[in-house]
Amino acid sequence: MICYCCQRDVSLVRRVLLRGDPGECPPGGFASPADPAYQAYLHNNAFRTAFICPGCYHSLDNEFGVGEIGGRAFNLAGKSRGGRVPVYSRHEADKLGMMDDEATGPQLPLGP
C-alpha cells in the first residue's frame, strides 16, 4: 500500500482524516460565497479519508495535528489524533477492500 503523505510502499497504514495545505485566504477576502476561489478554498479545507504510514502518523500526531512531510503541509483531524485510529496490515486492508489505488487517499490539495 502507498502512504498518502510520503508516497512510500508500506505494509502498515492508518486510516485517518487528513487535509493538505489549503493555501491562504486572499488579503481582500472573497467576493461572495459563490466566488469560485471561495468554493475552492472550502473544498481544500475539508478533511478527507487517507491512508498514511505509522511514521507519517507519528509526525502529524501532535497537539495541533500539523506537520510537514516531504515539503508539503498536512493537518490531521482531532478525531484521528492520540492513537485513536487503527493500524491496518496489508492483509487486513485487502480483506476490507482497501486496494493499492485507494490507499493513496483522495485528491487532497498538495500546496505550491
Residue 62 has pLDDT above 70, yes or no: yes
Q: Is residue 68 part of a domain?
A: yes
Q: Is the pLDDT of residue 109 over 80?
A: no
* Residue 4, domain member (yes or no): no
Tens digit of pLDDT for each residue in 86-100? 999 988 877 777 654
CA distance 32 to 54: 41
* Closest by CA position to 51, among listed 83, 111, 6: 6
- Separation between Cα atoms, residue 62 and residue 78, nearest integer Å: 10
Is-contact 27 37, C-beta < 8 A? no
* Residue-level pLDDT at 75: 93
> Is residue 57 one of the residues assigned to a domain?
yes
- Secondary structure of residue 21 in the 3-state scheme: coil
Using the predicted structure, report yes or no on whether residue 101 has a pLDDT greater than 60. Answer: no
Evaluate whether residue 72 is within a structural domain: yes
Q: In which domain, by residue range, is 55 found?
A: 12-103
pLDDT at 59: 96
pLDDT digits (tens, 9 = 90+) for 5-53: 999 999 999 999 999 876 677 778 888 888 888 888 888 788 998 999 9
Q: How many structural domains compose the chain?
A: 1
The pLDDT, as a whole number, for residue 112 is 38
